[in-house]
Amino acid sequence: MKHGDQDRDQDTPTVALVTSDRLAEHGWQDLDSHLVQEALVRRGVDARLIPWDGGCRWQDFDVAVLRSPWDLFVFHPEELLPWVAEVEAGTTVLNPPNVIRQVMDKRYLERLAVAGVAIVPTRFVDVGQPVEFPAGEFVVKPVTSGAARDTARYRPEQADAARAHVAYLHRSGRAAMIQPYVASVDIVGERSLMFVNGVFDHAIVKQAALAPDASYEVRHPLHPRPQAHEPSDRELDLAHAALDAFAPDGDLLSARVDMLLDAQGAPRVLELELVAPVLFLPHSDGAVERFADAIIARLPAALP
């Protein structure tokens, strides 16, 4: 046991579900973690919701599961990896830090494409490089981001505004990425497939988050109107292929593969969520219990 508090049973496994005290300030909700905590407690685990910046003694826990420290990597991405290294010095971090290091920059999409995984076509524009936009509507976003921060969609006649957006990202030292706006999201939504310990668990479909003519400075809705979804075989095959091609250096406790349907109805990967993915556990019967069991399977010693 890593924890040293004398008033705790030294044989009780300890799990930190890492979150934030400031989610409500940004209009975010973590609907998963309280349920997971309750499920772990029922299984004899001392599970606690721990703010990422609360001055915690990480060595007091057997495992730290990153659940919703979203303001850390959305607003302070440069602090994420040093913070993860600090936590890793005290306990086991899930998902593993090497996975987090690989997925922070969305240029991993290039690796997926080279491996033959169908992705939403993406151009990356490093600082100082000229930018070209695709025909039709398109999206501009930073290569490191979350919650659609600093992201906006543009029509062809708004190219000047889009260039100003790219210039804004470049002035802050960030590369930009350009993707066509996949119109089907406005009709059939965006699919998200959840994996737990490498096994597909459940899926949801959610509505479009980027409104036309909305500035990249606005706060976009996070995962609007999610509903349970039964993925097609093509969607499942694509999700598996994406995770296989990503080949993370470290086993994944949880993963979410987000995808859109192209003009022919074929799924394409939009991005992988592997740092602290929203898993939409209430949308699938038994998902909370399955995730709790997956965490217990990662503990250094089995429960008695």
Residue from 237, 231, 222 nearest 276 by CA? 222
Q: Is the pLDDT of residue 221 over 80?
A: no
Q: Is the pLDDT of residue 3 over 90?
A: no
Mean pLDDT on 233-238: 98
The pLDDT assigned to 219 comes to: 74
Q: How far apart are CA 181 and CA 189, in angstroms?
A: 12
Q: Helix 33-42 and helix 287-297: axis angle, to 10°?
A: 60
**Contact 116/238 with Cβ under 8 angstroms?**
no
Bridge-based pairing of strands 63-66 and 14-19 is parallel
Write out the two tokens for 264: 């022919």
More confident residue, 260 or 214: 260
What does the H/E/C string look like for the chain?
Answer: CCCCCCCCCCCCCEEEEEECCCCHHHCCCCCCHHHHHHHHHHCCCEEEEEECCCCCCHHHCCEEEECCCHHHHHHCHHHHHHHHHHHHCCCEEECCHHHHHHHCCCCHHHHHHHCCCCECCCEEECCCCCCCCCCCCEEEEECCCCCCCCCEEECHHHHHHHHHHHHHHHHCCCCEEEEECCCCHHHHCEEEEEEECCEEEEEEEECCCCCCCCCCCCCCCCCCCCEECCCCHHHHHHHHHHHHHHCCCCCCCEEEEEEEECCCCCEEEEEEECCCCCCCHHHCCCHHHHHHHHHHHCCCCCCC
**53-57 contacts, C-beta under 8 A, 24 or more apart:** 53/20, 54/21, 56/16, 57/3, 57/4, 57/90
Cα-flanking dihedrals φ and ψ of residue 250, to 5°?
140, 140
- Does the pTM surpass 0.85? The reply is yes
Share of the chain above pLDDT 70, in %: 93
Q: Is the pLDDT of residue 5 over 70?
A: no
The pLDDT assigned to 274 comes to: 94
Per residue in 27-63, pLDDT tens?
888 999 999 999 999 999 999 999 999 889 999 999 9
Bridge-based pairing of strands 92-94 and 123-125 is unpaired
Set out the domains of the chain in order of their start, with CATH numbers.
Answer: 14-95+285-297 (3.40.50), 108-274 (3.30.470.20)
Q: Is the pLDDT of residue 68 over 80?
A: yes
The pLDDT assigned to 10 comes to: 67
More confident residue, 282 or 144: 282
Q: Is the pLDDT of residue 302 over 60?
A: no
Q: How far apart are CA 170 and CA 78, in angstroms?
A: 16
Q: How far apart are CA 99 and CA 117, in angstroms?
A: 19
